[in-house]
């Protein structure tokens, strides 16, 4: 595949924590086979030259600067204070379920989207506009190797989302409220610690990251319990086990299957010399099934307590939204499990989305019956 590949837990963890590995400078030309194709695309999407790289693809010090501006909103203490608001959203979603529902669209998508929208300060139902475009943008994450063939669709969707966030920024500038967007606008306007383009790209990243991984965690977790019904009664008897169960859901069906890193200088990992400029693909899903790290790794064990998987990465790029995703899933399953006997799966096979990088159930139909 033109890249080195790491599949074991030890090597993946070592590279993620090693400052000698990072991200290559953003180069939009890499998406195209010729300069002519690139220039044609630029004429169609002139704003591409104005776009700021997202924090996820930056190295220190730029990465540290942008992460520092938003990290306080996602600390475990701040996130835990959101518990009552998240519980209220969960209660509303469960109350609105019809006799037949889809776990993915009705719960897995809705809960994270509503929570991150409230945290950011998006207008009511703003996520309904953003999510369809975000789903198109996510096509670009299908593989870090040959880029997506749907670049026109991806960039058009990105422009529409950016324009939406720009309109929200204008509203917050005129009438600031107690939310993350207003805080970042104030930082931009009073301290100048990020550019307008960086502000937009950061909001886009926060929405995508706050929604996508949580959606897959919830959907995959529901799938794990449905295929392991012997796990349900122990969790119903002892809800305190749900925290470990959520961690096991993340390990057993890893939402982000792989990430890429570039060697910023020559490095040696497990006797393998990696030259400066070489790319390494880290298969997190494989690392989370490494028998040298997890006993009986293919088994789904809700009481497994062998340490955290690499599902949210580690090191300086550890997912900011990890505590929020954990809490959302915990609250949802705490509310769902007492009612599990009222759910019946439809006799249709479960399909996963066709995406190499993002692992998630595409649809999981259920019906409700009287207990």
The catalytically annotated residue of 214, 231, 311, 313 is 214
Catalytic-labelled residue, pool 209, 263, 267, 325: 209
Active-site entry in 319, 322, 325, 329: 319
Q: Which of 28, 19, 23 is nearest to 261 (CA)?
A: 23
Torsion angle (degrees, nearest 10) of CA 135, 136, 142, 148: 180
Q: Which of 212, 32, 56 minimizes the C-alpha distance to 136?
A: 212
CB 208 within 8 A of CB 138: yes
Query: Judging by DSSP bridges, how do beta strands 4-6 and 279-283 pair with one another?
Result: parallel
Of 224, 166, 230, give the one whose Cα is nearest residue 200.
Answer: 166
Catalytic residue from among 113, 231, 328, 329: 328
Instruction: Look at the block and give the residue holding tokens 């306007």.
Output: 189
| Active-site residue (options: 11, 162, 212, 248) | 212
Phi, psi of 113 (to 5 degrees): -65, -45
Q: Look at residue 194 and give its three-state secondary structure.
A: coil
Distance between CA atoms of residues 114 and 112, nearest Å: 6
What is residue 321's DSSP assignment?
T
8 Å CB contact between 327 and 321: no
Element spanning 91, H or E: helix 83-95
Is residue 209 among the annotated active site residues? yes
Active-site residue, 328 included:
yes
C-alpha distance across the termini of the chain, in Å: 52
Q: How many CB atoms lie within 10 A of CB 56?
A: 18
Q: Is the dihedral of CA 191, 196, 201, 207 positive or negative?
A: positive
Active site residues: 209, 212, 214, 319, 328
């Amino acid at each position: 595949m033109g890249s080195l590949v790491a599949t074991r837990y030890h090597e993946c963890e070592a590279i993620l924590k090693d400052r000698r590995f990072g991200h290559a400078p953003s180069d939009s030309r890499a998406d195209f086979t010729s300069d002519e194709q690139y220039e044609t695309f630029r004429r169609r999407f002139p704003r591409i030259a104005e776009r700021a790289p997202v924090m996820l693809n930056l190295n220190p010090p730029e990465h540290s600067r942008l992460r520092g501006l938003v990290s306080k909103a996602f600390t475990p203490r701040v996130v835990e204070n959101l518990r009552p608001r998240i519980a209220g959203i969960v209660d509303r979603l469960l109350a609105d379920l019809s006799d037949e529902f889809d776990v993915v669209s009705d719960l897995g998508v809705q809960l994270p989207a509503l929570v991150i929208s409230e945290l950011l300060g998006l207008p009511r139902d703003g996520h309904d506009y953003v999510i369809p475009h975000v789903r198109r943008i996510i096509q670009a994450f299908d593989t870090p190797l040959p880029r997506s063939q749907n670049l026109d669709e991806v960039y058009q969707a990105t422009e529409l989302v950016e324009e939406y966030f720009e309109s929200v920024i204008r509203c917050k500038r005129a009438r600031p409220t107690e939310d993350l967007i207003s805080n970042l606008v104030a930082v931009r306007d009073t301290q100048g610690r990020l550019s307008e383009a960086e502000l937009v790209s950061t909001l886009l990243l926060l929405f995508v990251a706050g929604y996508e991984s949580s959606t897959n965690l919830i959907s995959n977790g529901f799938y794990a319990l449905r295929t392991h019904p012997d796990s349900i009664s122990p969790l119903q008897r002892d809800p305190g086990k749900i925290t470990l169960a959520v961690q096991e859901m993340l390990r057993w069906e890893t939402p982000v299957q792989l990430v890429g890193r570039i060697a910023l200088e020559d490095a040696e990992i497990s006797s393998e010399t990696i030259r400066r400029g070489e790319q390494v693909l880290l298969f997190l899903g494989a690392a989370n099934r490494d028998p040298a790290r997890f006993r009986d790794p293919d088994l789904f064990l809700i009481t497994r307590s062998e340490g955290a998987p690499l599902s949210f990465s580690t090191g300086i790029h550890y997912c900011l939204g990890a505590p929020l995703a954990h809490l959302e899933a915990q609250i949802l399953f705490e509310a769902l499990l007492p009612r599990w006997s009222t759910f019946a799966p439809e006799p249709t096979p479960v399909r996963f989305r066709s995406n190499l990088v993002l692992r998630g159930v595409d649809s999981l139909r259920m019906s409700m019956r009287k207990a």
